[in-house]
Amino acid sequence: MALASSTRASALSASVARRPPLSAFRRASRARHGRRARHAAASAVDTVPLGVDGGAYAKELASALDAVRLASELCQEVQGQLMRMDEQAETKEDRSLVTLADYAAQAIISWRIAQDFPDMTLVGEEDAEALTEGGEGGAETLNKVTNLVNKTLKGHMGEKAPTLSSQDVVDAINRGQSTGGPTGKHWILDPVDGTLGFVRGDQYAIALALMDDGDLKVGVMGCPNMPKTGEVLEFQESYAYGFSPRLVSKMLAGDSLGWYKGCIFTAVRGKGAYMFPTDPTLKFEPVKVSVSEAFDPRKAKFTEPVMKANSSQGFTAAVATNLGIECKPLRIYSQVKYGSVARADADVFMKFPKAGYMEKIWDHAAGVILVEEAGGTVSDAGGAPLNFAGGRYIEGLDRGIIAASSALHAKLLDSVAKSWSSSQL
């Protein structure tokens, strides 16, 4: 997964980002952590009070929530740099995009979880090869990634924040090379899911899950640009009609609601799904989220990937018509789609990639447990649950992925079967 050689020398070459003004959030955060630091052991990280029941996985949930919060803040900083064109995305050898945030978010999450679980294994999207084998460009990128990680840790932990070396950062990223499997505990991470949305200033997600003996047990998904309420996501249709794109993340100017965007979803098997604001200084109780209950086809919405290359929009339109759905699709980048189904912004999620495409477990793990714990069902097109225990790819996936409330899921399966038969005629 090295950067293409032509891009190595210029890897993420823009100048060091201008330092943003210290926000009220950071000042509050520093003061808070600074006070706590005087009473805490020097090396321990603080656990954020949760407000939700994590049952047997309470410690894992607390650790994951803290890790995803750190990464959410870090990613917002990098997205700001990209929007100001202080930084730029690069292309990996597989032609997918990568930014400083992909590496730094994987590093900070891996480091944070390992503070509580030193023997943890991680199936993560990124590796550090481009940073260690990428010549001068790679070294420069590694330096920026390390600075970003340290700056974020300092913002949260104040004086007691450790200073990670470049080697610590490389080790933390490379911890993500596990292949997972059916036994034991494995963390599954997409540090920046929906990289295209991320570089376009739009929706993206930081998606972390824990699998234990082959079953997903915990999911934490940071959605830093997701509005608190779903209505605004409707405007996504501007993409479909070629109007000048209105960035979803920028659509609500002002902050009159207090918390207007920036959600973190949590889910623990058997304990339900919740939504928090990404900003821990906002004192909202976690909100329990549930999939839509009644299915009214005239009002129902389905959500799907933005890019035609990632999912057949013709096929999903046929399935939607078969179900009687009249609304235009909500096309949203990343696993924010699963968040939209979990809190009933949308009733149905569908993704039908081209034949032969192998889905990666980190693109779905956090979203799947989130929808399931919100009362939904996720399966492949044949109705089988997704298998996350077969390595880095979803094993034996039948055609595509569908999600809906458990009651609607059966109808959805039926519509997929009918539409598939007619599409094969």
Ligand X SMILES: Nc1ncnc2c1ncn2[C@@H]1O[C@H](COP(=O)(O)OS(=O)(=O)O)[C@@H](OP(=O)(O)O)[C@H]1O
| Site of interaction with Mg ion (CB under 5 A) | 190, 193, 363
Burial class for 151, CB neighbours closer than 10 Å (0-12, 13-18, 19+):
middle
Helix, strand, or coil (residue 348) = strand
Size of the site for ligand X (CB under 6 A): 17
Per CB under 6 A, which region of 51-59, 109-117, 132-140, 302-310 contacts ligand X?
A: 302-310
86 annotated binding-site participant: no
Closest CB 52 distance from ligand X, rounded Å? 27
150 vs 316, beta carbon nearer ligand X:
316
Our finding on whether 309 is near ligand X (CB under 6 A) is yes
Among 28, 56, 307, 384, binds ligand X (CB under 6 A): 307
Q: How many CB atoms lie within 10 A of CB 291?
A: 26
Catalytic residue, chosen from 7, 66, 102, 202, is: 102
Closest CB 335 distance from Mg ion, rounded Å? 8
29 vs 335, beta carbon nearer ligand X:
335
Specify the DSSP class assigned to residue 300. Answer: -
- For ligand X, what does the binding mask look like between residues 96 and 135, x meaning CB under 6 A? x---------------------------------------
140 vs 363, beta carbon nearer Mg ion:
363
Active-site residue 7, yes or no?
no
26 vs 360, beta carbon nearer Mg ion:
360
95 vs 283, beta carbon nearer ligand X:
95
- For ligand X, what does the binding mask look like between residues 71 and 100, x meaning CB under 6 A? -------------------------x----
Q: Which residues contact 173 (CB under 8 A, 6 or more apart)?
A: 103, 106, 107, 110, 124, 126, 127, 128, 131
Q: Which residue is nearest to Mg ion (CB)?
A: 193
Q: How many CB atoms lie within 10 A of CB 76?
A: 17
Our finding on whether 360 is near ligand X (CB under 6 A) is yes
Q: Which residues contact 8 (CB under 8 A, 6 or more apart)?
A: 2, 130, 134, 135, 137, 138
Are 227 and 117 spatial neighbours (Cβ–Cβ below 8 Å)?
Answer: no
Angle among Cα 379, 97, 99 to the nearest 5 degrees reads 115
Q: Tokens for 399?
A: 């055609």
Cα separation of 392 and 388, whole Å? Answer: 8
Our finding on whether 373 is near ligand X (CB under 6 A) is no
Our finding on whether 240 is near ligand X (CB under 6 A) is no
Our finding on whether 305 is near ligand X (CB under 6 A) is yes
77 vs 190, beta carbon nearer Mg ion:
190
Q: Cα 277 to chain center, whole Å?
A: 15
Which secondary-structure segment (H or E) carries 372? helix 365-373
Cα separation of 366 and 203, whole Å? Answer: 16
190 annotated binding-site participant: yes
Question: Which residues, numbered 178-207, are part of the site for ligand X (CB under 6 A)?
Answer: 190, 193-196
Closest CB 108 distance from ligand X, rounded Å? 17
Which of 171, 208, 211, 179 lies closest to 193, judged by CA? 208
Burial class for 346, CB neighbours closer than 10 Å (0-12, 13-18, 19+):
buried
Our finding on whether 219 is near ligand X (CB under 6 A) is no
Closest CB 336 distance from ligand X, rounded Å? 8
206 vs 210, beta carbon nearer ligand X:
206
DSSP string, 69-128: HHHHHHHHHHHHHHHTTSS--EEBTTS-EE-HHHHHHHHHHHHHHHHH-TT--EEES--S
Which of 125, 19, 114 lies closest to 63, judged by CA? 114
Active-site residue 195, yes or no?
yes
Catalytic residue, chosen from 195, 266, 303, 316, is: 195
Closest CB 153 distance from ligand X, rounded Å? 24
Among 57, 333, 338, 349, binds ligand X (CB under 6 A): 333
Residue 393 β-bridge partners: 360
193 annotated binding-site participant: yes
Closest CB 269 distance from ligand X, rounded Å? 24
Angle among Cα 89, 304, 187 to the nearest 5 degrees reads 65
279 annotated binding-site participant: no
Matching residue, tokens 């803290």: 66
Contacts to ligand X by CB under 6 A: 96, 190, 193-196, 305-307, 309-310, 333-334, 353, 357, 360, 363
Binding residues for Mg(2+): 125, 190, 193, 363
Catalytic positions, please? 102, 195
